[in-house]
């Protein structure tokens, strides 16, 4: 357990100890920089406009920008609820969420400037800043994010600001974030990885944040140049980002840059394959630090630079986090920063006593957590629970496959195992299955192999299971 008590007073003391005239945010998009004082002053001005509107909730439909960044802080000052939505979401999903919160105000590119009029603004004094910080109600509902899973409808996850700060402090101390860290913000700023990981944690750990455009293939062309230009040394990547960036260092400068700047490189949002991990670490002589968490539970575990890195581990359980397992090895977790609830469904359905049912399967070995797959993805054949990740890991270890995904489908009224894989070669399916049966068992045999140019994934790098299954039925429809 972490020795220092984390409470509201502790959090406010950390914020009060900030050097208000030091640079906090660099807006690389508009080539501007902001001290803590400047940013708090702007956020306070927006908070005044929020209060005048007379509503409690603000849906903010904006991409990565200083405007969206400011709304997170103005909502703290105004004690309003912020509901960030990704502009790249499907229109029908966005409209459904807006209808759910019909008592809110929508902020988008058409009206955001109405909140950004700072002509008569005077920068706040330290005394004023500390007064407004003390009056933040960090225990009330502050943030509603909508999950972006691989299947099912997104759920509104409700958190207080206290939850975010508490989790950020524990994680930040584990990763050893300091005021020497310069964090490159490239995650979508409307999802938890772009909020907690990329705003709240650097902020509460006194690190500088460089706001960048969200990561895309186009932005990747200039990514390493921007990293070196702004002296960025702290990162959160998804596996998809890492894969793209492997091929962007044309001049071979990044390894030398990392050698001089000792980066902290965390990886989250989706599983990191062993092949990708080895390629990136060997090319740049760095450690990739896998982590594990959910929108509902926030941070649960992480690897750290000082630890012995295990190939597929997501690291040690964080202080103040308690883990146990059900009979299927589903991870049950108890955290002091658990969500306040779902906005639109019953939270009790996801709890066992005080433990949240993650839906993920796992084991603990050598004091480290290993994720073995999703409980709902378990395949049951011959009365045996089969974890798809066991087959995926075996195929990758014995073949030239760079990425694969295992799931079951119903074919001729029977459950069949399908492997979607990415490789430069056609797999020798019978030989692969011979090894699988010999080393894992006969019920692990793959019934169908599908060679793909890419394993379909969503914006957060998670496998799009529905799209893969649809591709299967299109190709094998004649066999049904």
Assess whether pLDDT exceeds 60 at residue 2: no
pLDDT at position 217? 86
Kindly state which CATH superfamily the domain 378-479 is placed in: ANL, C-terminal domain (3.30.300.30)
The C-alpha atoms of residue 215 and residue 192 are separated, in whole angstroms, by: 15
At 318, is the pLDDT very low, low, confident or very high (cuts 50, 70, 90)? very high
Q: How far is CA 474 from the centre of its chain?
A: 32
Question: What is the tens place of the pLDDT at every residue in 195-212?
Answer: 999 999 999 999 999 999
Calculate the average pLDDT of the chain.
Answer: 90
Q: What is the DSSP code string of 221-283? A: TTHHHHHHHTT--EEEE-HHHHHHHTT--TTS-HHHHHHHH--EEEE-SSPPPHHHHHHHHHH
Annotation: CATH topology of 8-372: Rossmann fold (3.40.50)
**Stretch 174-199: mean pLDDT, rounded?**
96
Closest by alpha carbon to 409, among 454, 448, 363, 382? 448
State yes or no: pLDDT of 477 exceeds 90.
no
Q: Where are the domains of the chain?
A: 8-372, 378-479
With a cut of 80, say whether residue 95 has pLDDT above it.
yes
Evaluate if residue 480 carries a pLDDT over 50: no
Task: Tell me the CA distances in angstroms from 399 to 37, 240, 283, 332, 425, one per residue in order.
Answer: 56, 21, 22, 34, 9
Helix (H, G, I), strand (E, B) or coil at 422: strand
Q: Do the bridges between strand 23-27 and strand 57-61 make them parallel or antiparallel, or are there none, so unpaired?
A: unpaired
């Amino acid at each position: 357990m972490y020795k220092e008590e984390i409470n509201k007073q502790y959090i406010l003391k950390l914020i009060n100890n900030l050097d208000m005239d030091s640079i906090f945010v660099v807006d690389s998009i508009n080539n501007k920089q902001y001290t803590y004082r400047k940013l708090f002053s702007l956020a306070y001005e927006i908070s005044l406009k929020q209060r005048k509107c007379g509503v409690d909730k603000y849906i903010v439909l904006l991409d990565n920008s200083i405007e969206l960044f400011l709304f997170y802080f103005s909502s703290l000052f105004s004690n309003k609820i912020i509901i960030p939505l990704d502009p790249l979401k499907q229109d029908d999903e966005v409209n459904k969420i807006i209808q759910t919160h019909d008592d809110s105000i929508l902020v988008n590119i058409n009206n955001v400037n109405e909140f950004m009029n700072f002509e008569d603004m005077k920068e706040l004094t330290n005394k004023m800043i500390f007064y407004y910080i003390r009056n933040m109600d960090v225990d009330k509902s502050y943030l509603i994010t909508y999950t972006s899973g691989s299947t099912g409808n997104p759920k509104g996850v409700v958190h207080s600001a206290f939850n975010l700060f508490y989790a950020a402090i524990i994680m930040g101390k584990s990763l050893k974030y300091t005021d020497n860290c310069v964090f490159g913000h490239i995650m979508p700023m409307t999802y938890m990885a772009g909020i907690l990981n990329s705003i709240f944690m650097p902020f509460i750990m006194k690190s500088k944040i460089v706001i960048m455009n969200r990561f895309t293939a186009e932005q990747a062309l200039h990514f390493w140049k921007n990293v070196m230009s702004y002296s960025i040394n702290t990162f959160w990547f998804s596996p998809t980002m890492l894969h793209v960036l492997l091929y962007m260092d044309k001049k071979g400068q990044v390894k030398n840059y990392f050698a001089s700047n000792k980066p902290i490189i965390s990886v989250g949002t989706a599983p990191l394959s062993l092949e990708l991990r080895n390629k990136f670490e060997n090319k740049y002589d760095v450690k990739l630090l896998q982590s594990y968490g959910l929108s509902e539970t926030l941070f649960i575990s992480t690897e750290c630079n000082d630890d012995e890195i295990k190939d597929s581990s997501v690291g040690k359980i964080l202080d103040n986090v308690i883990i146990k397992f059900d009979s299927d090895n589903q991870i049950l977790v108890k955290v002091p920063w658990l969500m306040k609830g779902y906005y639109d469904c019953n939270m009790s359905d996801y709890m066992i006593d005080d433990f949240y049912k993650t839906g993920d399967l796992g084991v603990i070995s050598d004091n480290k957590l290993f994720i073995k797959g999703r409980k709902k993805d378990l395949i049951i054949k011959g009365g045996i629970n089969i974890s798809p990740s066991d087959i995926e890991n075996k195929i990758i270890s014995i073949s030239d496959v760079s990425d694969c995904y295992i799931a079951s489908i119903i074919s001729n009224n029977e459950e069949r195992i399908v492997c979607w894989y990415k490789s430069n070669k056609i797999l020798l399916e019978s030989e692969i299955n011979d090894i699988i049966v010999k080393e894992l068992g006969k019920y692990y045999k793959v019934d169908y192999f599908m060679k793909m140019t890419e394993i379909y994934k969503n914006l957060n790098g998670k496998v799009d299971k529905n799209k893969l299954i649809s591709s299967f039925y299109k190709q094998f429809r004649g066999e049904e």
